[in-house]
Amino acid sequence: MAKHIVATVDEIPQGERKIVEIGGRSIGVFNIKGQFYALRNICPHQGGPLCEGRLTGFVMADKPGGEYRYERRGEIIRCPWHGWEYDVTTGQSWVDPTSVRTRSYEVEVATADALPSSYQPGPYTAETFEVSVDQEYVVVELPG
């Protein structure tokens, strides 16, 4: 496991995302209701840039002609190419939960003080380290 600093907490407000390049991989880091999630920026279907898609909710209906319900607002990402829906919090696709998931990564928020020297700075290195010590960093953990 290798930890990468990818952003400051301030940099990704609620409902926003940042797409970063770590170890040759494009990864989207999302702030959803104060929690951070990271997804590989590739749709398993045809390779579209999943994390550039629209953040939306999940539409449900029990039957035709009945009520539509709009739930999980802002927690579902729709692939910008073919519109497949994924749950950002789990990487789970809705259409075919048994066979399609995108890769998600552990994200944690570390205070600057607590950053151990083993963390590998991500592409954001220079700027991040210039932030004051009481600032919080977003760290993505990548499988080695």
Cα gap 135→35, rounded to integer Å:
17
Cα gap 28→57, rounded to integer Å:
18
Smallest distance from the beta carbon of 17 to another protein, in angstroms? 13
Identify the residue among 100, 110, 112, 115 touching another protein (CB under 8 A): 100
Residue 2 binding another protein, by CB under 8 A = no
DSSP SS3 for 55: strand
DSSP 80-141: TTT--EEETTTTEESS-TTT-B--EEEEEEEEGGG--TTPEE-TTHHHHHHS-TTSEEEEEE
Residue 104 binding another protein, by CB under 8 A = yes
Residue 139 binding another protein, by CB under 8 A = no
Binding mask 46-85 for another protein (x = CB under 8 A): xxxx--xxx-x-xxxxxxxxx-x---------xxxxxxxx
Residue 28 binding another protein, by CB under 8 A = no
Smallest distance from the beta carbon of 126 to another protein, in angstroms? 26
How many C-beta atoms lie closer than 10 Å to residue 35's C-beta? 13
Smallest distance from the beta carbon of 72 to another protein, in angstroms? 12
> Which residues form the interface with another protein (CB under 8 A)?
35-38, 40, 42, 44-49, 52-54, 56, 58-66, 68, 78-85, 89-92, 94-96, 99-108, 143-144
